[in-house]
Amino acid sequence: MKRRIQTILQNLIAWIFSAIIVIPIIIIALNSFKNVKESNSMSFHLPSIWEFTNYLEVIKRGNLLVGFRNSFSYALLSTLLLLVVTLPCAFVLQRRGAKRLYRILYYVLIIGIALPLNNIALMKVMVGLHLMNTRVGIYLLYAAIGLPLSVFIAHGFMSGIPRELDEAAVIDGCSAGNLFLKVILPLLKPVASTLFILNFLNTWNDFTMAIYFLNGSDKMPVTLSVYNFFGQFQKSWNLVCADIMLTALPVLIVYLFAQKYIIQGLTSGAVKG
């Protein structure tokens, strides 16, 4: 009886938290199909006439196609760059972890998880390197921001890969580069998938970096497009809601199809780390 009550309470709490998340999404979705007058109330009522043209108007007037292209470019290239750096780095730090120097390097890297980001100092660094308001600069910036957590997750996952594999490969004449590329890297697909999805979504959803380090509509990501669109059409809540739905849809799709890889990679790292 006690276990049954506990199960009911857990399910009730889960339903409450789910409702808190889902209800605003439903409201935004419904109001994105209403006219201006009906959308001002932001209610649960179904629209009297379904205005599907709201989405076409948002795409045309909100410059969303350029925003989608930029966001996809920033998220994809910065994440690929991050993986190229993270996986070999975590492998070396994990395998050489017994040495003091490598332990210090590891702790210096992962301390970035907790330290706050100083945008003013970072802006001076970007200006000094002539990377301000450049696509290359934003790629490097997003990769650097995601590096500490990615190294931490990959390091924990790699601790579960037996060192005997390294020794067997070296005995067979495998070089250090081939050891990582041909033996270790194929085993890292779960954690690599997790890191790719997490960093891709974080970059796609980011808002602040674009404000500080990018100028001009041609480099604007989709999150900043929504911000500017709201400033222009803040009285047209139907268009604002349609804009929000279009921006959030790719993230929802990616998460729904990739959530098992995220959970698999994170739990594997947690157990083996």
The CA distance from 261 to 73, in Å, is 22
Cβ atoms of 63 and 217 within 8 Å: the answer is yes
Handedness of CA 167, 172, 174, 180 (dihedral sign): negative
The pair of structure tokens assigned to 68 is: 């989608």
The pair of structure tokens assigned to 150 is: 């990615």
pLDDT tens per residue across span 124-173: 889 999 999 899 999 999 999 999 999 999 998 888 888 888 888 888 88
pLDDT exceeds 50 at position 271: no
Model confidence band, residue 22 (pLDDT cutoffs 50, 70, 90): confident
- Per-residue model confidence (pLDDT) at position 147: 93
pLDDT tens per residue across span 27-78: 889 988 988 888 888 788 888 889 888 888 888 877 788 888 999 999 999 9
Q: Which residues fall within 8 angstroms of residue 150, CB to CB, at 6 or more apart? A: 82, 83, 86, 90, 195, 198, 199
Q: Domains for the chain: give ranges and CATH numbers.
A: 66-272 (1.10.3720.10)
As a whole number, the mean pLDDT across the chain is: 85
pLDDT tens per residue across span 239-262: 888 888 888 888 888 777 777 766
Q: Which residues fall within 8 angstroms of residue 83, CB to CB, at 6 or more apart? A: 150, 192, 195, 196
- Per-residue model confidence (pLDDT) at position 266: 61
The residue with greater pLDDT, 80 or 263, is 80
